[in-house]
Structure 1
Amino acid sequence: MDSILQRAADGGRITPEEALLLYTDAPFHALGEAADAVRRRRYPDGIVTYLIDRNINYTNVCVTACKFCAFFRAPKHKEGWAHPMEEILHRCGEAIDLGATQVMLQGGHHPEFGVEYYEDLFSNVKQAYPQLAIHSIGPSEILHMAKVSGVSLEEAILRIKAAGLDSIAGAGAEMLPDRPRQAIAPLKESGARWIEVMTIAHRNGLSSTATMMMGTGETNIERIEHIRMIRDCQDLAVANGYRDDAVETSHQVGGFRAFIPWTYQPENNHLKGRTQATTMEYLRFIAVSRLFFDNVAHLQASWLTTGKDVGQLALHLGVDDLGSIMLEENVISSAGARHRSNLHELIWMIRTAGRIPAQRETLYRHLAVHYTEADDPTDERVVSHYSSIAMPEGGRKNLPLVEVQ
């Protein structure tokens, strides 16, 4: 155990079998210390980043009916909706006013939305707000749009990239191994197909993030298999020298920029919380992920699903990014995630963990480093919203502002 931990802490590669051993049996403090050693070596400046963005859902109509999802409605359901372009652009404008640099445009697998819909969506947003990075959709949506339009995956990716998509979200990964994926999302593509889409995107100059949802009944072995599949995909990106076309420096390797594990939320869905990941399972997995991903630069804590105290603790287990102040989030909050924060609190969480807060943009370039409290932003309107503010009728609704505690 000590030998494996030392090799991983020094930047050496560990096998999936060794990762499983560390996950199940390594002493917690030794595991965390090794993971934090990796973080310190990668980021000796002690900086932990955050982002200001907004998740805008264009529709809740979806044909995949995933058992863990509380957000979707079946086609022709009376509660199904799709926002008009005017509403989406209005929300993008609100986000920019509050300092957002990124939007995540995400929605269900609408039976009528092919590549043409997404070309129109991305091009309109980019034309109206060229300063916004569009970090959006995931492999599932790309497979769906290609099927609706009757085109190849490569053509779909090239077309939406040309329309303005800057980066692909890690959405839809959930659990990549076959058994747990079939159990929770039987109508979705396989994990192998998810990886295939990411590989094609990386090859064509679009980098992405990768995610994992814990707590729906998967085994420890399957959790490790999930990150094994992602690491193998990243090995391919590194070996072939895939670049992110959005980055000017030629040495920037594309592929996966960050890994973001999060925990299943149990409300208003078919799984009903029968199985969930514990806080300790999550924290141990965070540490193992930092040791396992010798080829993925960043590790993000999901305070939105685990809570701010757990998110801050994760900063001592290899995490270098605390995610975002989401000005809007509808999907996870529909399933019961009620954690919220504001910009001042997120910065406080980073600073009191002994780190230096820095606002970043999509590709992790620093926009502002807050070395002292005098460097901190002063906009008290920047708060996250755990509850949905999507309106079924598509009418406008300004962001509600709350007082900062």
Structure 2
Amino acid sequence: MTDLQSVLQTITPNIRTILEHCLEGKELKQDDATTLFSVTGPELTALVLTADYLRELQCGDQVSYVVNRNINFTNVCIKTCQFCAFSRDLRSEEGYFLPTDEIIRRAQEALSYGATEVCLQAGLAPSIDGEIYIDLCRELHQALPKLHLHAFSPEEVKYGAIRSKRTFYDYLSALKDAGIGSLPGTSAEILNDTLRKRISPGRISTQEWIQIVTTAHKLGIPTTSTMMFGHVETKEERAAHMALLRDIQKQTGGFTEFVPLSFVHQEAPLFIKQDITGVQPGPTGNDIIRMYAIARLMLGATIKNIQASWVKEGLRMASWLLNCGVNDLGGTLMNESISTTAGASHGQLMTPAMLRHAIRDAGRVPVERRTTYEIHRQFSRVLEEQEIEQDPLSQLEHPQEIFGSYQELTTDQTFTYKFENAL
């Protein structure tokens, strides 16, 4: 705190007042958050130190992660979101669709390597029955009842509900009865309909997204919350997005975490085509630091867990973000297709040992959590000999040969998408 107080004395009175109010426990106003998105130099240093101080107050020194596996069971999608390089249309030779028995096999494999969660998200295939997500949850839960099902974005819930002619409430109730444990709060991007129409016309609306997540929360289904940034959004729109999430959390308490997601531009149509003016090639390094630090100031009192995405930022940057308000490094993933196809180059698996090493290097205490942040395993500040022996995933020498890749899926004729044979 002494270093922070010294730095605060060197910055402009306006920024100092904003940060001091946060340190006093006052809520960060939306306009003040917008102002902080422009800080540089000593003011950025003061912002980071403030975020780190509040993180320690709110979360302590523990940094968590979850052992999980992503299963993106189809890349065929009726949407044409401008930021997505993962999806294929129904005529594409690269379209794939995993049958239920293969999804269960992959989930069982993950469980054998210590996973406590499987994350299911996919494209919106045109041929599916509306009950697909419910049936898939039921079969997975019956086969592997100990595995937490973190599945289906609000966009997928909307799609399933419409195709099954159910209300959102009825559809979410059926998912809960089938065994779903939580929902990813993705498909949020920036919760501003004017912007959404520019980058993803036809995507779920802001009001629909809010309705689905709040309904899930009322039913006792927790969700994550996210924001994709670094494309065409303004600082004001970023701050408004977080203020909206904060308001929802005050009402429902159903968000488990907040995850800022950097726009990966390399293969995204939004950047390649340049049909929309002002598209940025993702956020700068300082912009990422500002985002995470402001998230701690604005959301930490209501959404305690701020997660850094190593898939988006790389483990080196994610490790540095542990000094900027972050207390969670996400999951091991085992498979990662969406960011990778957009151009992210940080791989599809991070072993528990690698995550623990990064956490310890930051001077923090590693904790393996469950999806909803209950502690599963707690570790010491220093590496102990038995850790790796109890960690089968960290012992793998060539994990890609076991878990496969997106490229292999798109060329494997066993899983080639056929309109009439989807699940």
Q: Calculate the TM-score normalised by the size of structure 2.
A: 0.85
Displacement, 1:12?
Answer: 2.0
- Does the CA contact (< 8 Å) of 1:9 and 1:35 recur in 2? no
Aligned residues: 379
| Residues 1:207 and 2:225 aligned together | no
Q: Which residue of 1 aligns with 2:37?
A: 23
Distance 1:149 1:112 in 2: 13
Of 203-212 and 35-44, more deviation after overlay is shown by 35-44
Secondary structure of the equivalent of 2:27? coil
Secondary structure of the equivalent of 2:35? helix
Displacement, 1:75?
Answer: 2.6
Higher helix share: 2
**Which blocks of at least 5 consecutive residues in structure 2 are unaligned?**
1-14, 273-278, 416-423
- Once the two structures are superposed, residues 328-366 of structure 1 have per-residue CA deviations (whole angstroms, 9 ceiling, x without a partner) of 111111111111333222111100100011111101111
- Does the CA contact (< 8 Å) of 1:114 and 1:144 recur in 2? no
1:321-336 pair list within 5 angstroms: 321-336=328-343
Q: Which residue of 2 aligns with 1:243?
A: none
- Once the two structures are superposed, residues 77-118 of structure 1 have per-residue CA deviations (whole angstroms, 9 ceiling, x without a partner) of 332221111110110011111111101111111223344111
Q: Which residue of 1 aligns with 2:48?
A: 32
Q: Which residue of 1 aligns with 2:102?
A: 87
Distance 1:97 1:11 in 2: 44
- Does the CA contact (< 8 Å) of 1:57 and 1:107 recur in 2? yes
Distance 2:408 2:330 in 1: 22
**What letter matches 2:361 in structure 1?**
T
| Residues 1:160 and 2:180 aligned together | no
Secondary structure of the equivalent of 1:212? strand
Which structure is larger by alpha-carbon Rg, 1 or 2? 2
| Residues 1:308 and 2:315 aligned together | yes
Q: Calculate the TM-score normalised by the size of structure 1.
A: 0.89
Distance 1:191 1:279 in 2: 28
Identity of aligned residues (%): 33
Secondary structure of the equivalent of 1:168? coil
Displacement, 1:386?
Answer: 9.9
Displacement, 1:122?
Answer: 0.4
**What letter matches 1:75 in structure 2?**
L
**What letter matches 2:96 in structure 1?**
W
Identify which of 119, 122, 136 aligns with 2:151: 136
- Once the two structures are superposed, residues 244-292 of structure 1 have per-residue CA deviations (whole angstroms, 9 ceiling, x without a partner) of xxxxxxxxxx411100001111233312365121111011010000000
Identify which of 178, 203, 225 aligns with 1:188: 203
**What letter matches 1:296 in structure 2?**
I
1:42-121 pair list within 5 angstroms: 42-44=58-60, 46-121=61-136
Distance 2:268 2:292 in 1: 26
- Does the CA contact (< 8 Å) of 2:77 and 2:89 recur in 1? yes
**What letter matches 1:42 in structure 2?**
Q
Distance 2:135 2:264 in 1: 33
Secondary structure of the equivalent of 1:49? strand
- Does the CA contact (< 8 Å) of 2:306 and 2:328 recur in 1? yes
Q: Which residue of 2 aligns with 1:8?
A: 22
**What letter matches 1:202 in structure 2?**
H
**What letter matches 1:35 in structure 2?**
A
Of 75-84 and 137-146, more deviation after overlay is shown by 75-84
1:377-396 pair list within 5 angstroms: 377-378=388-389, 379=392, 380-381=394-395, 387-388=405-406, 391-392=409-410, 393=412, 395=414
Displacement, 1:381?
Answer: 3.6
C-alpha distance 50-314 of structure 1, shift in aligned 2 (>3 A):
same
Of 350-359 and 35-44, more deviation after overlay is shown by 35-44
1:210-359 pair list within 5 angstroms: 210-237=225-252, 254-272=253-271, 274-275=279-280, 276-293=282-299, 294-340=301-347, 341-359=350-368
C-alpha distance 327-181 of structure 1, shift in aligned 2 (>3 A):
same
- Does the CA contact (< 8 Å) of 2:388 and 2:395 recur in 1? no
Distance 1:346 1:313 in 2: 13
**Which blocks of at least 5 consecutive residues in structure 1 are unaligned?**
238-253, 397-405
Distance 1:123 1:199 in 2: 23
Secondary structure of the equivalent of 1:271? helix
Secondary structure of the equivalent of 1:73? coil
**What letter matches 1:165 in structure 2?**
I
Distance 2:175 2:167 in 1: 13
Displacement, 1:297?
Answer: 1.6
Distance 1:351 1:386 in 2: 30
